[in-house]
Amino acid sequence: MAGRPKIFDKHEVVNKAADLFWSKGYEAASTEELLAAMGIGKGSFYLAFPEGKRELFEKALDQFNNGALQRLYAALEKGGEPVEAIRRFFLDMAVAPKEEHGKGCFMGNTVAALSNIDDELKQKAVQRLKQLEQLFYNAISKAKQQGTLKTGEDTATLARYLLTLWNGLNITRRMYTDPKVLRPLIELQLKILH
Amino acid sequence: MAGRPKIFDKHEVVNKAADLFWSKGYEAASTEELLAAMGIGKGSFYLAFPEGKRELFEKALDQFNNGALQRLYAALEKGGEPVEAIRRFFLDMAVAPKEEHGKGCFMGNTVAALSNIDDELKQKAVQRLKQLEQLFYNAISKAKQQGTLKTGEDTATLARYLLTLWNGLNITRRMYTDPKVLRPLIELQLKILH
DNA sequence: ACTATTTTGTACTATTTGGTAAAAAATAAA
DNA sequence: TTTATTTTTTACCAAATAGTACAAAATAGT
């Protein structure tokens, strides 16, 4: 295959762009900043992403993976106790670095920002959040089967409870970053899993 | 007092602007759109708000009042049973018009959008959310004193639980607008007040 | 070495944006 | 009725923005 060699990996630059979108949001992240963050020029960019910024954002939404979420996924895969994995997932938020508090949830931010602006992009973010809900659903199902979670509450509703907790904490953590505030708050929220 | 008469009331146009900011957010609401929504021209606008769009947004944050929230405030003022007032406040979200679901919480949206963009505006939104938290705090205090709420949980933490519920629901309601989903979710979330 | 192919870098452009300036209009006071 | 004052209207502007065009560069195959 002939041609001048590429100087970047598409997957990698999308990750870098996603990180900036996560911090600043779709509108506030300018193409210039994005190019700087990705380390490529306009020519390369518009060749790789002919639709420009919007296409880049779409790819970012598809490919984004929150570190904390990946750990939860891994813990559940590994067959650890589901309720304990969920507890840890949420309690870890209380001691996250301040910069992470400020960023919140990329998908939640997107849903909030684009609900009345760009329905297609919003729906993509919604879809990713529903994946998280599904993760909760599976974990709760498993815990119920195992008998580690004994509650009369509906599994689907419990999953949405946790989803709503996630959504809410990602706003509240911008108001309170102190673990002394966040920890007891999260503990209280998780009492439902007793 | 001499001079050409004003054709608008400042308070009123700020409300109209706030409504657009609520729908579209700070960045996405262009000055042009804002002027159209307010029904005034550039000259009038920059005379009344010399700092422009940002000043208008500040005023909008200060002066904004969510209808649902006003009703909660009124119910509590009137001396109604606090826990019941809070229950109604949240359960009413389940049957809100779809357009309101799409808008979510103006302050939550602002915190999410401006956390890494404009700290001063973000702080103003945070402050307003803390007012809501305070409202919850007072209501819970009162209910505890009256004996209508018997729980060992800390009042401050319960208030932040409700604040986080508010924050979370205002994202989740963009994913699910069906009362059949929202109602049982909110019921479950409010079990803590039993 | 030459050619076809692909990517990169750079200069350019059209549009949108928030904002300014100044003339025209509408009033109250003298 | 004139004047001072305040607001509105309209024309203008500078900066930023996303995006385009195209020449130069770097490779593989012949």
What ranges do the domains of chain A cover?
10-63, 67-193
Q: Which residue has the tokens 């004193």?
A: B145
Residue A161 is nearest to which of B154, B175, B189, comparing CB atoms? Answer: B189
Per-residue pLDDT averaged across A116-129, rounded? 98
Nearest by Cα to A119 from A65, A160, A58, A177: A58
Strand D nucleotides in reach of protein CB atoms, 7 A cut-off: 4-11, 16-29
Residue type, B179: P
pLDDT at A145: 96
Residues of A in contact with B113 (CB under 8 A): 25, 28, 109, 112-113
pLDDT digit string (tens) for A71-120?
999 999 999 999 999 999 999 999 999 999 999 999 999 999 999 999 99
Using a CB–CB cutoff of 8 Å, tell me whether A48 touches chain B. Answer: no
A10-63, CATH topology level: Arc Repressor Mutant, subunit A (1.10.10)
Residues in CB range of A125: below 8 A, 6 or more apart:
A61, A106, A107, A108, A110, A111, A114
pLDDT digit string (tens) for A56-81?
999 999 999 999 999 999 999 999 99
**ipTM, interface predicted TM-score of the complex:** 0.96
Nearest by Cα to B112 from A130, A25, A53: A25
So what's the architecture of A67-193 in CATH? Orthogonal Bundle (1.10)
